[in-house]
């Protein structure tokens, strides 16, 4: 991974090598799997939403190997990599709403807005599934 710093820290560019690209793709895959597990967990809570069949549908284990899903993950990885080549959306440095670049950087373990004197944006978390 190569970081090219600019006089304006918001314009710092992150370039990925092949290893970083694979790491990013796997992180996207993990994020999607976590969303499936959290969706399934929602249907296993006691009460009126308890529905084991819906939990299994949320997991969609059969769909894990389908080509459209793999294509979508590859496209998303491309979008994230492209975003790391551009500047931050700026709102992420002033308001608690991360831009796509912030999210992509977080997936590869980089944060180019630390130390700018603004609050850091929160990372996405599912409401019903805490890490």
In tens digits, the chain (131 residues) has pLDDT values of 888 877 777 888 999 999 999 999 999 999 989 998 999 999 999 999 899 999 998 888 777 777 888 899 999 999 999 999 988 876 676 665 678 888 898 899 888 877 665 444 454 434 444 44
Do the domain assignments include residue 119?
no
Q: Which two three-digit tokens encode residue 94?
A: 């002033």
Do the domain assignments include residue 122?
no
Per the structure, the complete domain to which residue 99 belongs is given by 2-108
Do the domain assignments include residue 126?
no
Share of the chain above pLDDT 90, in %: 37
Do the domain assignments include residue 39?
yes
Do the domain assignments include residue 127?
no
Identify the helix (H) or strand (E) that includes residue 27: helix 18-42
Domain count, the chain: 1
pLDDT tens-digit series, residues 77-104: 999 999 999 888 766 766 656 788 888 9
Residue 121 Cα to chain centre, angstroms: 13
Torsion sign over Cα 62, 67, 68, 70: positive
Torsion sign over Cα 66, 67, 70, 76: negative
Do the domain assignments include residue 64?
yes
Do the domain assignments include residue 130?
no
55 with 45: CB under 8 angstroms?
A: no
Do the domain assignments include residue 103?
yes
99 with 76: CB under 8 angstroms?
A: no
Torsion sign over Cα 60, 61, 62, 63: positive
Listed in sequence order, the residues at least 6 apart from 73 whose beta carbon sits closer than 8 Å to its beta carbon are 25, 28, 29, 32
Q: Which two three-digit tokens encode residue 106?
A: 């977080």
């Amino acid at each position: 991974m190569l970081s090219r710093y600019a006089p304006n820290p918001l314009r710092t560019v992150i370039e990925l090598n092949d290893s970083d690209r694979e790491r990013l793709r796997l992180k996207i895959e993990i994020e999607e799997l976590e969303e499936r597990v959290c969706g399934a967990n929602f249907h296993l809570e006691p009460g009126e939403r308890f529905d084991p069949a819906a939990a299994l549908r949320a997991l969609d284990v059969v769909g894990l190997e389908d080509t459209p899903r793999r294509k979508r993950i590859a496209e998303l990885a491309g979008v994230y990599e492209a975003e790391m080549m551009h500047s931050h959306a700026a709102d992420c440095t002033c308001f608690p709403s991360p831009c796509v670049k912030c999210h992509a950087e977080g997936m590869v373990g980089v944060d180019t807005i630390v130390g700018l004197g603004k609050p850091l944006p929160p990372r996405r978390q599912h409401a019903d599934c805490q890490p």
